[in-house]
Amino acid sequence: MTVNKNILTSFGINLDLAVEAHEAVRGQTGQEIPGVAMDKTSYNNATVTTVKIFEKSAEEMMGKPQGNYITIEAPALRDNNREAHQEVVEVLTEHLSKLYNLSPKANVLIVGLGNWNATPDALGPKVADQVMVTRHIFNYAPSEVRDGMRPVSAVSPGVLGTTGIETAEIIKGIVDNIKPELIIAIDSLASRSVERIATTIQIADTGISPGSGVGNKRLGLNEESMGVPTIAIGVPTVVHAAMIANDAINRLFEQYKDTPQIYQAYQQQAVQDTLNDVLAPFGGNLMVTPKEVDILIQNTSKIIAGGVSAALHSGITSEEFSMYLH
């Protein structure tokens, strides 16, 4: 049994991950989606799925803009396995580098989206704090510039609730002043599956809509709004409670496949009505995150910062990064 599309609509759930949107549409139609190409590559500790949306009809079906979506799935991200983490850094570096074509001295802006004070939403600011920034070196200490370094700056603009300013407005003001040739925005995402929390990294060349995973429709960060190519990197850190409950109910009924009088009693509308009742105290909008989310954010932010730094500064080894961290 797959999740009913009505549940997604009823609770206003947006599927941030392109692979999940692809799974949902295929589950509804039972066939391949015209205008979408998918490819998979396996590594020792990761599987990379590339979803390319290249037709308007597919864009509408999947609810995603046309572009490339690269998903790195690595369950080892949850483990204290430095070798596996380093491989994911290298995989991230490899696939991120494929999404842009910049001159060696191109100016790049890193944007860490999210709220420092809410741990599941702190991924972006933590990446911005750990990524290798060098624009000040180019401007004030040019003798320290090494071959293979780019001018990179980073900012964590906060969230509307604490600044009173739309994130996109803050970023546009910075873009107009420093004129980057590429923006890389990092944000926490929402998944429909608990298995993907902190084990999945999505890279997209379509930009990002802050808060979309938790139902907030906001001005996006993309090439159209910023006037600059924008790559988004995200990690799922929360799952909607309705998805967890729906999966639990579905799995319960699956156990009674051989008991027709129970299995046939399953009614998706009854499931939806039950979820509405249970989640009513929260207006139907309850997000769930693991209790160890602080450690998961710490690990994934370090991995993303390492992958982004390696991709942008090809001449600097991982051992040398610490010399340039702010």
pLDDT value of residue 320: 67
* Confidence bin at 61 (pLDDT 50/70/90): confident
Give pTM, 2 decimals. Answer: 0.89
Report strand pairing: 182-191 vs 230-240.
parallel
> Would you say the C-alpha torsion 91, 67, 239, 242 has a positive or negative sign?
negative
**Which domain covers residue 198, as residue numbers?**
5-324
pLDDT at 276 over 60: yes
R_g over Cα of the chain: 21
pLDDT at 325 over 80: no
Kindly report the average pLDDT of the chain as a whole number.
88
Q: If you average pLDDT over residues 95-104, what whole number do you get?
A: 94
Find out whether 127 and 304 touch, Cβ atoms under 8 Å: yes
Domain of residue 137, CATH code: 3.40.50.1450
Please, what is the Cα angle at 216 between 62 and 119, to 5 degrees? 105
Q: Whole-angstrom Cα distance, residue 261 to residue 189?
A: 40
HSE (side-chain half, CA atoms, 13 Å) at 208: 30
Greater pLDDT, 48 or 320: 48
DSSP 110-151: EEE-S-TTSGGG-HHHHHHHHS---HHHHHH-GGG--TT---
pLDDT value of residue 107: 97
Number of domains in the chain: 1
Summarize pLDDT for 226-271 with one digit per residue, the tens: 999 999 999 999 999 988 988 888 888 888 777 777 766 677 778 8
In this structure, what token pair is assigned to residue 69? 């979506």
Q: Whole-angstrom Cα distance, residue 66 to residue 77?
A: 29
**For a pLDDT cut of 90, what percent of the chain falls above it?**
61
Which of 28-37, 98-107, 207-216, 271-280 has the highest average model confidence (pLDDT)?
98-107
* Confidence bin at 283 (pLDDT 50/70/90): confident
